[in-house]
Amino acid sequence: MEDKAHLLLNRLKWVSFYRVVIAFISLILLIYWKSKLDIIPESLYFIATLIFIFSVSIVYGFVISRIKTPFILIIVQLVIDILVISFVVISTGGVESPFIFFYVFVILEGGIFFSKKGAYLASFVNILVVGTIFLLQYYSVYPINKLLISRIIYSAYDLFYSFSILTLEFLVLGLLVGFLTSETKKILENLEESEARVYDLEYLKTAILTSINDGLIVFGEDSISYINEPAKNVFSKIGNTNNVDTFSRIFKDEVQIIKKEQKTLRFERAIPVDTGEVLWLNCALSPLMSHENKMIGVLLSFQDLTQVKMMEECLRINDKFAFIGKLSTVIAHEIRNPLASLKGSIEFLRENMVIDDENRKVFEIVTREIDRLNKFITDFLSYSRNIELNISKIYLKNLLQEIWYELMFSFENKEMFIFNYEGDDAVVINGDPNQIRQVFLNLFINSVQVIQSKKGSGSINVVAKETSDSVTITFEDDGGGIEEQYINKVFDPFFTTKNGGTGLGLAIVYKIMQEHGGKIIVTNGEKGAKFILRFFK
């Protein structure tokens, strides 16, 4: 009901506006021609009429702005319009008045305000009013103004003829206006329904796209035309989410395949991010088709598998931890104790027997191998044993420099290695000093050994970055990196590519980081392996 009243009010404003415009233009023209041709002595009569119409329209405009139910005002306006037009027609010759066509505006207003029924009713009222004016003119009830007519006496035939023509015109015009307003109303209603359906569909589409947790990206002909919020959130980890060229570059080859072959493509994609980690995405690319079955774009939907991949990796390594935990008990009892007996027996024989130089070398070899085996068991047990942590604050730069200084004393060609640190001198991490020392010592040893085996000399760079919730340490050497087939196995216990290696150094690093609630990942940098450690505050 309120919508209908609002619609009528808007129409009333427009009708009042064009009435003011028409009256104003007519008034200007009349004044102009009066000044040029002073042949209308009664022109002041018309000027007063136009001023009246102009004033009434202004009053309408003032009243319209202050009412909420315009129905009564519309009825009053139509009645006043009929009376004013009738007054002008009577004053300008009745049946021969040149202004009798003004009744057309009443029919138009009836159709505008009340659609088909309003146009029909206005036509009927016009016929009654004009018929009454003609009868009054025929019986000379009012004096005829000679201003704009050629004669003042009419026969019944003249009046009947004019009345018939006008009646036919009013009826045809009423039917036409009624039909047009009725069709216009239907069109507007259909348009409103269509707009409502479009709005509902748009709202439904928005609700669906908002509720979907999967990332969605639509590639158009030349650029990306749509990115939903989950996609923006995922790709915010890459660094520059505002640069859509980043997305186009990452999936350029796959998008071209879809555009060429028009088939769905599923794949997993590993994307390096600014923190040095890897973003794993499970992707599906599909062609977007129009209703004409023409491809209008490519839709990429994806799920972030990063956490799943990390959990799978943790479970895989933890399974090995569980097995090693059981194995360590057997090793400690069944191997280490006999080794101690063997070593003691060898030492006893060497001290109490007279042996030559060749046998002495054999004893030394046996003793050295027993020590090496014992060290392996010690490392293994320290790896498999749960250690109670004594957490304290550790100044990172001081610890790294101390470890590097001690380590270089064990190398004869220490001048062949360079250590660089980039970061704030005051960076502090929370951890067990002995365990964290073991982490960095193992990483240093691993890098030095790789550099020695591949190029003989090189450098190790450590970059520390601190945020409000974590400290990220990037440990990178220039030893050539890790083969892609091995990069997911470097933290596995007993996995090694070095001759004589135990495969426990990096496994111990991983375990210590896990016990500290931190994270460590490995990738290949520009010149060598890159280990990224994150300690949370």
Tens digit of pLDDT for each residue in 313-369? 767 666 666 666 666 666 666 676 777 777 777 777 777 776 677 777 777 777 777
Instruction: Quickly state the pLDDT bin for 429 (edges 50, 70, 90).
Output: very high
Strands 519-524, 529-536: pairing is antiparallel
287-329: pLDDT as tens digits? 888 777 788 888 888 888 877 777 777 676 666 666 666 666 6
Length of the chain: 537
- Per-residue pLDDT, 358: 72
Burial-class residue 46 by CB neighbours within 10 Å (0-12, 13-18, 19+). buried
Out of 122-131, 165-174, 235-244, 458-467, least confident range: 235-244
* Nearest by Cα to 498 from 450, 466, 465, 535: 450
**SS3 for 536?**
strand
Out of 188-202, 354-368, 509-523, least confident range: 354-368
- Per-residue pLDDT, 461: 92
Instruction: Quickly state the pLDDT bin for 202 (edges 50, 70, 90).
Output: confident
pTM over cut 0.75: no
As a whole number of angstroms, the distance between CA 385 and CA 331 comes to 13
110-152: pLDDT as tens digits? 887 788 888 888 889 988 988 888 888 777 776 655 444 444 5
As a whole number of angstroms, the distance between CA 497 and CA 23 comes to 100
Instruction: Quickly state the pLDDT bin for 283 (edges 50, 70, 90).
Output: confident
Percent of the chain with pLDDT over 70: 72
477 and 529 Cβ atoms separated by less than 8 Å: yes
268 against 392, higher pLDDT:
392
Residue 187, pLDDT > 80, answer: yes
Per-residue burial over 89-118, b if 16 or more Cβ lie within 10 Å, else e, is bbbbbbbbbeebebbbbbbbbbbbbbbbeb
Question: How far apart, in Å, are the Cα atoms of 413 and each of 246, 401, 443?
Answer: 45, 18, 19
What the block records as the tokens of 115 is 């659609």
Out of 172-176, 249-253, 435-439, least confident range: 249-253
